[in-house]
Amino acid sequence: MSTLVAYFSRAGQNYGHGGIIDLPKGNTEILAEAIADALDVPLFKIETVEPYPVDYYATTDLAKRELREKARPAIQGPLPSMDGVDAIVLGYPNWWGTVPMAVKTFLDALDLSGVTVAPLCTNEGSGMGGSVGDLRRSYPAANVTEGLSVRGTDAKSSTGKAVAWARKTIRA
């Protein structure tokens, strides 16, 4: 079984500890790097061509508009090769109850037939939201597993938990 860790994460202004904090590295990125390193598998960062605003509230407004419009913001390439990949650990923050639309841009570009997709969602208390169901509806050819929800402010202390979950979920 060959695995890819793909993730979308946002450093800078984020919500945490009841207010706006500045993160040098995004919470999802911390977990994705730990999983890819522990499993010794490729890591792909999903990045939009047009960066999101620095301001947290401007980003949430844009994310809400993208969700409402079912937008697919352009992402930077090239995309990773899916030759032989049969499992993706998919990391993302909970944006308005689901995956950021940039994650859907990424997934839309892949042939997910028979691929196991293991969702890893960071949040500040909203859990997985509806993201697992949304992924299952949007990508029925994939085997979307139950996900792991990690509070973003606990990301650094949750790397071991995330690695153990990934190993168990994708049997790496």
One-letter amino acid of 150: V
Say if CB 57 and CB 37 are below 8 A apart.
Answer: no
Length of the chain: 172
Q: How many CA atoms lie within 13 Å of 42's alpha carbon, on the beta-carbon side?
A: 16
**Looking at 8-115, which runs of residues are DSSP E strands?**
12-16, 19-23, 43-45, 85-93
What percent of the chain has a predicted confidence (pLDDT) above 70? 99
Long-range contacts of 69-73 (CB under 8 A, 24+ apart): 70/101, 71/101, 72/101, 72/104, 72/105, 72/108, 73/48, 73/49, 73/101, 73/102, 73/105
Summarize pLDDT for 9-64 with one digit per residue, the tens.
999 999 998 999 999 999 999 999 999 999 999 999 999 999 999 999 999 999 99
Is the pTM here over 0.75, yes or no? yes
The closest alpha carbon to 26, from 59, 50, 65, belongs to 59
Burial letters 67-106, b for 16+ CB under 10 A, else e: beeeeebebeeeebeeeebebbbbbbbbbbebbbbbbbbb
Residue 1: pLDDT band with limits 50, 70, 90: low
Residue 171: pLDDT band with limits 50, 70, 90: confident
Which domains does the chain show, CATH number per domain? Answer: 2-170 (3.40.50.360)
Q: Which two tokens stand for residue 8?
A: 């979308």
Q: Which two tokens stand for residue 23?
A: 């993160």
Q: Quick one: how far is CA 66 from the chain centroid? A: 16
137: part of which helix (H) or strand (E)? Answer: helix 131-138
